[in-house]
């Protein structure tokens, strides 16, 4: 009995990690509480005082300096205090500005804690509307998705983007050109450091989780990656929403995967194949060794399903 109860947090953490990869889980649930109380563990220096912060949940970034501390995303509600304390320890300052890349709980669950510490929170119009319940959202399972108390809501929102001029640098917050992971994704470009935080429009070496109930689309991924390659250069460092720091070759390969996957599934749709037949034919087989490894956000089958349904919807009815 004693042994079993001491194993419980470990089991809960394992179950939560597995679930978190599939669908957003209520961050207030006991499972989430057990799993996500640790601060981020890794700090990667990207030059010009820009740092990538990696731990549980989405990758964060920060830029410190005399004008104030700027932060991208804040992971879970349950590890927000720990993250805040660690950020303050590294930067010797409290966060002044914080931008949410999108409205998922593993990227903005710490908003209330960071706002209370003095941070002004920025996000796209749609991200705030979904957090506050002004737009109703469903889980991928079709259940109503939780909304957030007022303390979590961004206080500054924007439609297309916003620029920060801080610590002698320019930080460009850019709305994705089309609904991608959700309909509220933004990317954050630290111009002088040449670092782009892509939020969950990019999961390094993984098929993307397309949050279709939040209007995410695979076509949007293609548009976003094309835009990213126009905006950035050969030496840009790319921070994905999840996974390791990436370079231009990684981003080019991911765009090629998106375009190839879409073309392959489109061929099946045009041939009249059903979804089950399309999945069985494994049109994405050539990309799966890199992008469909076990433990990633979306499986090959899940990604085929998203593309198939999207193409089917846009197809003229016979």
What is the size of the binding site for Zn ion (CB under 5 A)? 2
- Smallest separation (angstroms) from Zn ion to the CB of 165: 28
221 contributes a contact to Zn ion by CB under 5 A = no
- Smallest separation (angstroms) from Zn ion to the CB of 204: 14
Radius of gyration over every alpha carbon of the chain, rounded to an integer in angstroms: 19
If 0-12 CB within 10 Å is exposed, 13-18 middle and 19+ buried, where does residue 219 land? middle
What are φ and ψ of residue 224, in 5° steps?
Answer: -65, -45
User: Token pair for residue 188?
Assistant: 């954050």
What are φ and ψ of residue 32, in 5° steps?
Answer: -65, -40
- Smallest separation (angstroms) from Zn ion to the CB of 212: 13
200 contributes a contact to Zn ion by CB under 5 A = yes
Site string for Zn ion, 77-116 (x = CB under 5 A): ---------------------------x------------
Q: Is the CB of 58 or the CB of 292 nearer to Zn ion?
A: 58
Q: Is the CB of 99 or the CB of 193 nearer to Zn ion?
A: 99
- Smallest separation (angstroms) from Zn ion to the CB of 82: 21
CA-CA distance, 197 to 245, in Å (whole number)? Answer: 10
Q: Pick the stretch among 83-91, 117-125, 197-205, 219-227 that binds Zn ion (CB under 5 A).
A: 197-205
CA-CA distance, 14 to 9, in Å (whole number)? Answer: 9
The β-bridge partners of 50 are 63
Q: Is the CB of 200 or the CB of 250 nearer to Zn ion?
A: 200
What sign does the CA torsion over 93, 196, 151, 156 have? positive
- Smallest separation (angstroms) from Zn ion to the CB of 107: 6
Which residues are at the interface with Zn ion (CB under 5 A)? 104, 200
């Amino acid at each position: 009995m004693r042994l079993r109860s001491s194993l419980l947090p470990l089991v809960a953490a394992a179950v939560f990690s597995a679930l978190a990869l599939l669908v957003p889980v209520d961050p207030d649930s006991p499972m989430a509480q057990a799993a996500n109380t640790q601060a981020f563990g890794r700090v990667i220096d990207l030059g010009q005082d820009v740092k990538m912060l990696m731990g549980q949940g989405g990758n964060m970034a920060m830029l410190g300096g005399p004008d104030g501390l700027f932060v991208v995303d804040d992971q879970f509600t349950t590890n927000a205090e720990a993250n805040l304390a660690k950020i303050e320890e590294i930067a010797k300052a409290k966060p002044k500005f914080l931008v949410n890349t999108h409205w998922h709980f593993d990227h903005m669950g710490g908003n209330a804690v960071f706002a209370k510490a003095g941070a002004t929170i920025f996000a796209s119009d749609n991200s705030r509307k979904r957090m506050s319940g002004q737009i109703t959202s469903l889980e991928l399972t079709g259940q109503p998705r939780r909304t957030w108390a007022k303390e979590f809501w961004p206080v500054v929102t924007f439609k297309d983007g916003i620029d920060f001029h801080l610590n002698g640098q320019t930080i460009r917050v850019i709305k994705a050109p089309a609904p991608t992971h959700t309909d509220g994704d933004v990317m954050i470009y630290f111009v002088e450091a040449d670092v782009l935080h892509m939020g969950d429009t990019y999961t390094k070496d993984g098929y993307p989780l397309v949050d279709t109930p939040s209007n995410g689309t695979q076509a949007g991924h293609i548009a976003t990656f094309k835009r990213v390659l126009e905006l950035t250069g050969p030496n840009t460092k790319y921070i994905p929403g999840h996974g390791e720091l990436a370079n231009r070759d990684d981003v080019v390969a991911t765009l090629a995967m998106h375009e190839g996957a879409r073309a392959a599934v489109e061929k099946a749709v045009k041939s009249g194949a059903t979804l089950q037949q399309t999945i069985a034919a494994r049109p994405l087989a050539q990309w799966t060794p890199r992008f469909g490894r076990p433990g990633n956000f979306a499986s090959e089958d899940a990604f085929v399903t998203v593309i198939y349904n999207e193409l089917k919807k846009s197809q003229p009815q016979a």
